[in-house]
Amino acid sequence: MTTSTSVTASPTFLDRVRTYSPPRRYLPVAATVALLIGMFGAGSLRYQGFADPQVVLNLFVDNAFLLVLGVGMTFVILTGGIDLSVGSVVALSTMIAASTLQAGWPAPVTIIAVLVSGTLLGTLMGLVIHYFEVQPFIASLAVMFLARGLCYLISVESIPIREGTFTAFAQGSVPLPGGYHVTPSVVVAVVVFAIGAWVLHMTRFGRTVYAVGGSESSAHLMGLRVAFVKVGVYTISGLCSALAGLLFAAYTLSGYSLHAVGMELDAIAAVVIGGTLLTGGRGLLLGTMFGVLLLGTIQTFISFDGTLSSWWTKISIGTLLLIFVVIQRLLTRRQN
């Protein structure tokens, strides 16, 4: 690449277009975007009303909590870790919210209680992972069991939420120009995403996340705050899970211990499909958003079709996961 600068003839615009290849780190994201556009193209050709902008907005409406989870999961996976507890923490958050509201707590206190408990669980997990060198997989598995068990201790039954603030939030609508609308939870999710993107791509903390994912021992030798960042990403994931739990509680207006079973897999799938390397160190938060949208599009596709059953969702998510894992593998192999 560097030797080509000595070529005297300046390349024409056409040459530049013809020989342009995007930086390799954008390739997986580009593949996801291409797939997303392709699916939307196919969908709008096959089904009437598929290309309606409200359908796109509904992807956000129905997956706001998944986007929030994905933000936290991206941080964790970028450090080379994994967090299996997010689904259970979502369920626990809905349970805490529903039961405290039922007990008559004011909504702000409930919200703070949920956020604090989720964050604490995440921090604890991070501490165990970093200081006791327990594998992230197994430590988050323990927290997954812990959170589910706590759910059942609170109640085995589903608890409805009838509190005013939550119902108002759930039924609220944010009008957009052109007669379209989204729900307030989309606003929350987009704000979380923006903050996440800022922290990850613009701050020292974010750069350290990438450094730890690239090589933990090198990051350590460079004098980076490895311990702080490693515990930090699990704290962020815990906070995001609690927040996603609040959104989910508002979405379903209930707390139930069987909420969000398997949602950790959706979150991981979204991150992977978004092009973040599972070995850590490479990936973009924007990719995760496209990953979430792609998962949402699959569901939309299946609901528009009507003849396909809902289990095709799982099969297609699995297939996509496979395709992207193989792409990742080929990319990293070529690099080595």
Partner 1 sequence: MRELLRRPLFWSTLALLLLIALNTAVTPSFLSVRLQDGHLYGSLIDILRNGAPVLLVALGMTLVIATRGIDLSVGAVAAIAGAVACVYIAGSDRPAATSTVVSAVALAVGVCILLGLWNGFLVSVFGIQPIIATLVLMTAGRGLAMLITDGQITTVVNPAFKVLGAGFVATLPVAILIALAVFAVTAVLARRTALGMLIESVGINPEASRLAGVRARTITWTVYVFCAFCAGVAGLMIASNTSAADANNAGLWIELDAILAVVIGGTSLAGGKFSLLGTLVGAMFIQTLATTIPTIGIPAEANYLFKAVVVIAVCLLQSPRARAAFRSRRPVSTVKAGAA
Task: Of 54, 65, 51, give the one whose Cα is nearest residue 184.
Answer: 65
With contact defined as beta carbons under 8 Å apart, do 91 and 257 qualify?
yes
Residue 222 · residue 202 · CB < 8 Å: no
Q: Which of residues 275-304 bind partner 1 (CB under 8 A)?
A: 278-279
Tell me which residue has tokens 């206190």.
109
Residue 127 in the binding site for partner 1 (CB under 8 A): no
Residue 330 CA: distances (Å) to CA of 77, 323, 334: 19, 11, 6
Q: Which amino acid is at 52?
A: D
Contact (Cβ atoms closer than 8 angstroms) between residue 55 and residue 49: yes
Contact 116, 102 (CB under 8 A): no
* 303-322 residues near partner 1, rule: CB under 8 A: 309, 311-315, 317-319, 321-322
User: Residue 14 to residues 2, 9, 11, 237: CA-CA distances in angstroms?
Assistant: 21, 14, 8, 45
128 touches partner 1 (CB under 8 A): yes
CB 80 to partner 1: min, Å: 6
Site for partner 1 in 207-226 (CB under 8 A): 216-217
Minimal distance, residue 331 CB to partner 1, in Å: 12
Please give the helix or strand (H or E) that residue 21 lies within, else none: none
Whole-number Å distance between alpha carbons of 35 and 4: 33
**Which lies closer to partner 1 via its Cβ, residue 137 or residue 198?**
137
For partner 1, which is the closer residue by CB, 142 or 187?
Answer: 142
Question: Contact with partner 1 (CB under 8 A): which of 35, 116, 120, 265?
Answer: 265
- The footprint of partner 1 on this chain (CB under 8 A) covers a number of residues equal to 49
Please select the residue that binds partner 1; options are 67, 82, 247, 270, rule is CB under 8 A.
82
- The 132-171 site mask, x for binding partner 1 (CB under 8 A), equals xxxxxxxx-xxxxxx-xxx-xx--x---------------
CB of 35 to partner 1, least distance (A): 17
Q: What does DSSP assign to residue 277?
A: -
Site residues (vs partner 1, CB under 8 A): 80-82, 128, 131-139, 141-146, 148-150, 152-153, 156, 216-217, 257, 265, 268-269, 272, 278-279, 309, 311-315, 317-319, 321-322, 325-326, 329, 333
